[in-house]
Amino acid sequence: MTKTEQQPVAILVPGHFNDHAVGRIDRTFRRIGIERADPSLVTDEMRETVRGIACFGGINAALMDALPRLEIIANFGVGYDSVDARHAGQNGIMVTNTPDVLTEEVADTTIGLLINTVREMYAAEKWLRDGGWVKTGHYPLSRLTLRGRSVGIFGMGRIGLAVARRLEAFALPVSYHNRRKVEGLPYGYHATLKGLAEAVDTLICIAPGGAATEKAINAEILSALGPNGVFVNIGRGSTVDEAALAAALANGTIAAAGLDVFADEPNVPRALLEAPNTSLLPHVGSASEHTRRAMADLCVDNLISWFSERRPLTPVPETVEVKPRG
């Protein structure tokens, strides 16, 4: 029970949710489960009582409109492009996410994915496990290396900065592209994504999803990256034209790609699955028990803070001006 309520606040939780977060919600609120975030599943009782949502995204305007008492959407994850935050802000609904607590974990994964892509670690391990070392001898020399590479980061936010710091330790020059230059950074800035791709041979995408970045990594950008190019995506699958990427990998437009995210998860295009010059992960950027627990705590802490102290901890920009009702 919250400090300000005689009865526990009702929180809607669509689909399967993090077990630790569910446990904390159950101890403080009245959790209402729903199969999926679908307004057609909203009952009269939900319309009358639900004041918060805890979710992995996927909250559209129709669901918000179906819940007239809704005050806050606590998104589990730093990315919230599948939550209509603009509609929420226009209708006095707070949206929060879970930044910072996953930054270092995702940056670690990014570097691991880059190294795996360039040095073929997975293929080399499979060679050993399948008996290739014994039967045939040493694994073939990797065609690519990190040595002598220059790295461009598309999306110099919290995670981008953490990746850049790690790349400095590898003695690799770093540059970046954002919508605008970040003052005070020691890295070279490119005003266009194409300009960045032309200047580097390794492109790491950490850009958020949404209409502004939809298929930003297209045939033109991949061609600019060049035949020695390596592309890594740890941000959102929607930022990549996957058909163009598959073609670029097949015809030698670029050398290799490492992907942790895809446009239609968990469905990965067959052409990418079959490409020998890809390293593919099932969206595990922040997927350690340690980090997911921290994300769960921040997600629930936002709910608790909102209903007990009437303030969010980590509001998204579109709803930062939203005030509590009553």
Whether residue 5 is predicted with pLDDT greater than 80 in this model: the reply is no
Position 82 scores a pLDDT of 95
Q: What is the pLDDT of residues 162-213, one digit of tens each?
A: 999 999 999 999 999 999 999 999 999 999 999 999 999 999 999 999 999 9
CA distance 87 to 77: 19
Report, in angstroms and rounded to the nearest whole number, the Rg of the chain calculated over CA atoms: 22
4 pLDDT tier (thresholds 50, 70, 90) = very low
Segment 225-237 mean pLDDT: 98
pLDDT value, residue 326: 73
Mean pLDDT value of segment 44-57:
98
| Predicted local distance difference test score (pLDDT) of residue 2 | 44
State how far the Cα of 97 lies from the Cα of 295, in Å rounded to an integer.
Answer: 9
CA distances from 87 to 18, 48, 210, 312, 314 (A): 26, 21, 14, 18, 18
Q: Buried (b) or exposed (e) across 4-18, using 16+ Cβ within 10 A?
A: eeeebbbbbbbeebb
Q: Which CATH class is domain 103-280?
A: alpha beta
**CATH T-level assignment (fold) for domain 10-99+289-319:** Rossmann fold (3.40.50)
Residues with catalytic roles: 236, 265, 283
Q: Provide mean pLDDT across the span 12-37.
A: 98
pTM (2 d.p.):
0.94
- Are domains 10-99+289-319 and 103-280 of this chain identical in fold? yes
Give the whole-angstrom CA distance, residue 73 versus residue 34: 15
Q: Is the pLDDT of residue 268 over 50?
A: yes
**Domain assignments of the chain as residue spans, ordered by start:** 10-99+289-319, 103-280
* pLDDT tens digits for range 106-158: 999 999 999 999 999 999 999 999 999 999 999 999 999 999 999 999 999 99
- Where does residue 129 rank: exposed (0-12), middle (13-18), buried (19+ CB within 10 A)? exposed
What's the rounded Cα separation, in Å, for the pair 229 and 200?
8
